[in-house]
Each structure stands twice: as C-alpha cells, then as structure tokens.
Copies of this chain bind each other. A is one copy, B any other.
C-alpha cells in the first residue's frame, strides 16, 4: 500500500437549515496502521441521504455526529489491506464509512457486496441496498397494501419513492405519485409505468390528485410531509395507513409547514406510522430476494445520479432538498476497482 493520505470532511458546526461548506472542515490525515482484526477500505461511493442533515443537527435514532468527527455516511469501497480473515484484499464492502477516502475498521458495521453478479456495484447502494429495503418494508409492512387499493407516494421520483411506486404496481395497486417536475412525472408514468404522476408545483395539483384517486386513498408512502401529506389525508378512506418514511419538508425548523389535516385520521380511523430501515436490517434477505428477482425480470427500474468529486460533498447533498437529483444520489470519490 502506498502511503496515501486520508481525505476527510469533519463536522465543524451544526446546521439549522441547509448544509454549506461552513459546516465542515476539510482535512488530510495519516492512515493509521492496522490492529489485529482490522482492515483498510478505500472508499469509492458515498451515499447521500436526507437523514444525514438530521444526524448533523441533533440526536435522533442515532446520537448526533460529534463536532470534530468525520461526517457520518454510508459508503462502499474495496478492501486494500486486511488483518481480518473475514475480509480479504479485493473484497467489495459496504458500511458506515463516513465522508472520507479511507477507513480503518474491524468490520462491525460492514457487509460484503457480491462483486460478480453482473450488475453495476452502484445498484447495491440503491435498489438492492438500504434504499430498496426501506421502500420494501415501509410499503409492505407498514402500508399493508391490497390489490385494487390506491397508493399515493410523495417524493415519488426519489430513490426510495420510485421503488415504493413500483412495488405498489407489482402488488396490483392504483399508484399515484407526486413529484417535483414534469420530467420526473414523465419518467414515472412512461418508464416506471405508474398510473398517474402529478407535478406538485402545478397550481391545480389538488384537482389532479383528486382525479387520480377516484376511489380515495388507502395507503400513503410519505417522504415529504407538510402540504403533500395534507392533500393525501384529504382523500383517505376508512382504515387508511400512512407509512411515514421521511419528512423532507420539515427537516429544517424554519421551513416546516406543519400538517393541518390530522383530524381526518379520526373520521377515517386511519393511522400514521413512522419506521426506520434499521429495524428491518435483520430481515433484509427477504427484501433483497424479491427486489433482485423483480430487477432481473425488468419489473423494477431505477435511476442513479452519480456525481464525482470529494470536495463537492457538502454542497452536493443539498440537491436532495431542492429536488435537483434524478434518482439515488451517490458521490464517487475514488476510481472503481477493476473487475477481476
């Protein structure tokens, strides 16, 4: 191994709105020698996810990232040196790498990625990774869909939302997606085959949504919250289930528009239930088996938005909040390993 430096983004300040470069400090650190059971990963993909803004701001389901620590994040890399028999040099691994070019780990949060499946490695950071597992259990376990029911997905063109939409179709639902541009809506209808996509920036979004749900709404897969959730609640049927996956409209306190339609839950004996993919990791094989099959069958499509660069991480993540990303957002920070 060459004596490379570890490039790192350190959390310097807690954001209360969007991220900027001021919230981070760039540094280059010496890579420390391996202890027994440790191995060194050269990271090539970093996953950018809305929840990372929360991790930097406050304690949530995980403690807040400490000021002075490497920013927390999911990544994929190649093992370049190992003193751990379970992880060999050349293995492709995924785990909580953080925002850095190299990580020394004992492997506790890491898992092997199947390198020779014929699929691009990025797919394991998307539909066959946490993204897919989130959509799968959120829709099936919390949403409990039935064929013939109507599903509304907000943030429908997003990484998780677009998979939730397609699982809804596979389960025989009338699937209605809310997305933020005409291009995204066209992709949802023409490429993914959902029943109706509505641009939530349209002035008549409420009328369009009503038309798309003539029999009301039975399941909501909610990524956005606020006005989207209020509109969906305005159409729910008795016994409807809202699977609360994300609330991107409320991740910054000053923007949080609130939800005004909760009384509908009473009239309709309906529920909103939050969930975290972390609670389903032990069941991920079940999800990945189905998702893999659907992917091979061509019934599950996806779009990756892979940026390159390391210095751009603090600003690139904001695309998730402006909706500029097209599909699962990854940052490639090192060259990919060559196929064996």
Q: Give A contacts to B, CB under 8 Å.
A: 54, 60-61, 225, 229, 244-247, 250-251, 256-260, 262-276, 279
Contact = CB atoms under 8 A, between A and B. Distances in A.
B61 A263 contact: no
A186 B257 CA distance: 36
A275 B251 CA distance: 29
A60 B269 CA distance: 11
A245 to B, nearest CB: 7
A104 B326 CA distance: 65
Contacts of A60: 267
A266 B270 contact: no
Contacts of A262: 225, 229, 244, 247, 250, 259, 272
A156 B20 CA distance: 45
B256 A266 contact: no
A260 B255 CA distance: 10
When all copies of this chain in the complex are counted, the total is: 2
Contacts of A270: 273-274
Which 9 pairs from chain A and chain B are nearest by CB?
A258-B258, A265-B274, A266-B274, A271-B273, A247-B263, A60-B267, A258-B260, A61-B267, A272-B272
A99 B264 CA distance: 26
A274 B279 contact: no
B272 A276 contact: no
Contact of A269 (B265, B266, B268, B275): B275
A259 B279 CA distance: 26
A268 B259 contact: no
Given A263-B225, A263-B247, A279 B269 contact: yes
A35 B260 CA distance: 47
Contacts of A267: 54, 60-61, 274, 276
A329 B258 CA distance: 32
